[in-house]
Amino acid sequence: MYNTGRHVSLRLDKEHLVNISGGPMTYSHRLEEIQLHFGSEDGQGSEHQLNGQAFSGEVQLIHYNHELYTNYTEAAKSPNGLVIVSIFMKVAESSNSFLNRMLNRDTITRITYKNDAYLLAGLNIEEIYPETNSFITYDGSMTIPPCFETATWILMNKPVYLTRMQMHSLRLLSQNQPSQIFLSMSDNVRPVQPLNNRCIRTNINFSMQGKDCPNNRAQKLQYRGESC
């Protein structure tokens, strides 16, 4: 786990590969990195909005197409290169088990400053996913430079939860090194971008809104990944 100065980044060792396929994906994709985006207040911090509403944060699982490309760098600038699974984070009384491992005080304080790193063992990637098979998907771009338009986004239709204390701990992470002035990593998100006629697809069954749709309204997506 790393403090990059911009994100909390979790990178898998090369002995434990995680692949995903199915859904809107034509190819199998390999997990390269998990990034956390979050806000300085609970009502902001996610890189997407639903019905104009932002969440406290967003977990992004970034995968590259390992069937067509040899590594992430090559895939990121190539057609059908990336799949990014986004999971909204919401403040609650209890915490998702995966986030609990990452964000407990003994762990998160190890990466307070830029370039700090800490080894986490025994994580189960499956535990980061909410209990839903429903998603929204569209073709867009990366939200960090160089913002190549090579990404398929998959937004899960339920959030995961973290505690108020864990969110506070994230806001205490610094963009800078210890010798520099403290500058919180909060609000590490991009401004909302127009859809520009992109097609939004979903497997949500709107005839069963009480079951699948958290706010019982049709989901209107606002897109943050159009250009740098």
Active site residues: 69
Scored b (16 or more CB within 10 A) or e, 19-58 reads ebeeebbeeebbbbbbbbbbbeebebbbbbbbeeebbbbb
CB contact at 8 A, 41 and 170: no
For tokens 């998990």, the residue is 34
CA distance 37 to 217: 25
What stretch of H or E contains 99? helix 97-103
* Nearest CA among 166, 206, 198, 180 for reference residue 48: 198
Q: Give strand pairing partners of 161.
A: 90
Residue type at position 28: S
In the structure encoding, which two tokens stand for residue 70, read together?
């040899």
CB contact at 8 A, 55 and 88: yes
CA distance 124 to 55: 24
